[in-house]
Amino acid sequence: MTDVIFATASGVGGAIAVVRLSGAGIDPIVRALSGTLPAPRRASVRRFHDGEGRLIDQGLLIRFPGPASVTGEDYAELHTHGGRAVAAVLTATLIALGARPAEPGEFSRRAFGNGKLDLLQAEGIADLIGAETEAQRVLALDQAGGAMSEAIGAWRGRLVGLMARQAALIDFADEDLPPDVEAAMLADIDALHLDVMAAIGAGVAAERLREGVDIVVLGAPNAGKSTLVNVLAGEDVAIVSDTPGTTRDAIGVRLDLGGVPVRLVDTAGLREAADAIEAEGIRRAEAHARRADFLILCAAAPDFVVPAAPAGVPALIVATKADLAGACPAGALAVSAQTGAGVAALVAALTEHVAALVARGAGPALPRPRQIACLRDMAAALERAMAVAEPELRAADLQAAANALARLVGVIGVEDVLDQVFSSFCIGK
């Protein structure tokens, strides 16, 4: 039996407040508040009273007996007016009646424990709460709605079948089995391994979407980096000056490019440092460039000197101050922050590049490091299973793959990660 928890699941101070309750023993609390129990799953107008019979508010009451509820327990919602005074009295009354405020993520934790959602869906809910852009919302909604879990469930069915076939090969080793039985099983293991590897690749892109794409602006002093950042941000986030070395540290600003969250980073000008502080700024600029998802390389008119970029990091050359010169380097995008020429084309180009960085395939795309780590463990186990000749060792590797898959959806071995997962939720979820 679980105790009754409650939380306000709506914004503070709005016109309407939604208070959620879950746990065994809800009915006496609801009856004490409203006088009578409404029919299940029907919104009923009720007057809510405190323990001394004084009116708190009038609103709607909806009751969902378990296990057919979002948490799998007896569950209810109170829809009241959203004033702080109403909330304060209602909270005090619920506590006096034996309920307690919920901990962060406790509603979803109970739903998970009662089989109403798996760990992937729970993490999807957390990501949906934190989504800032349209693309993040779509990704989180796919996961919270069970689309990812359905795909992973299909993997589970294939893996269980492989384990059963391997067990049969061990049990009937003395039988004269056709040689193509083992070959077909190895081919199926390879096919599953390829699907998992594709999901790992998609997961890297999904993680970048969840966390945001880092775009770093590099260039020499007075190459127009800070001005360009201000233009793209639509506000003055970086100090602009004709004095070389004005920008000493990396300055980041959040953007939304085509629904993808982007962190645009202005950096110190790359040159021989004049002092220790500027040297540290240049070191940080180079470090940001190595870690970046994408680079904007600013080459200013009239010389258009393109800065060196770390190997392996995709980049776009931008010819800044293009209004001061006629021709710009081949392959560069000419931009003038002064006149606005080329800015729209730059935004379009960056949006296209960012979309490519977060592009996902049709299969599962899991954005969290924990999830990707489980997939890597599963892929490694399947790879070992294909490499060994001994049936018993292959069976052990298939079991290891199953264990990794189980950790992914929260079937076994997840107690050490549950608190971390659910503590990121807001109160009332």
223 known member of a binding site? yes
Residue type, 367: P
Is 51 labeled as ligand-binding? no
Residue 339 in marked binding region: no
Please classify residue 373 by burial: count the beta carbons closer than 10 Å to its beta carbon, then call 0-12 exposed, 13-18 middle and 19+ buried. Answer: middle
Any binding-site annotation on 80? no
Between the alpha carbon of residue 198 and those of residues 70, 119, 205, 302, the distances in Å are 33, 21, 11, 46
Calpha distance 174→101 (Å, rounded): 63
Query: What are the structure tokens assigned to 339, written together?
Result: 């006149």
The answer to whether 329 is annotated as binding is no
227 annotated among ligand-binding-site residues: yes
**Is position 225 annotated in a ligand binding site?**
yes
- The identity of residue 307, as a single letter, is P
CA-based nearest residue to 111, from 76, 140, 148, 68? 68
Query: Which of 207, 210, 215, 211 is CA-nearest to residue 288?
Result: 215
**Which among 21, 9, 252 is positioned nearest to 129, based on CA atoms?**
9
Confirm whether residue 147 is marked as ligand binding.
no
Known binding residue 226? Answer is: yes
25 is in an annotated binding site: no
Q: By three-state DSSP, how is residue 65 classified?
A: coil
For residue 239, CA distances in Å to 263, 297, 341 come to 18, 19, 22
63 and 54 Cβ atoms separated by less than 8 Å: no
d(Cα 31, Cα 51) in Å, to the nearest integer?
11
Report whether 306 contacts 297 (CB < 8 A): yes
Q: 230 labelled as ligand-binding?
A: no
Closest CA to 86 of 59, 113, 61: 59
10 in a known ligand binding site: no
244 is in an annotated binding site: yes
Q: Is 241 assigned a ligand-binding role in the annotation? A: yes
State phi, psi for 292 to the nearest 5 degrees. -70, 155
- To the question of whether residue 261 is assigned a binding role by annotation, the answer is no
CA–CA gap between residue 36 and residue 59 (Å, rounded): 14
* 259 labelled binding-site residue: no
Angle, vertex CA 115, rays to CA 413 and CA 411, nearest 5: 20
Q: Is 246 annotated as a binding residue?
A: yes
Residues 70 and 125: beta-carbon distance below 8 Å: no
Angstrom distance (rounded) from CA 167 to CA 161: 10
In angstroms, the CA 261 to CA 132 distance is 7
Beta partners for 21? 6, 76
Contact, 421 vs 121, CB < 8 A? no
Cβ-count burial of 172 within 10 angstroms (0-12 exposed, 13-18 middle, 19+ buried)?
exposed
Positions at the binding site for (6S)-5-formyl-5,6,7,8-tetrahydrofolate: 20, 77, 116, 429
As annotated, the binding site for Mg(2+) includes 226, 247
Annotation: binding site for GTP:
222-227, 241-247, 266-269
Binding residue ranges: 20, 77, 116, 222-227, 241-247, 266-269, 429
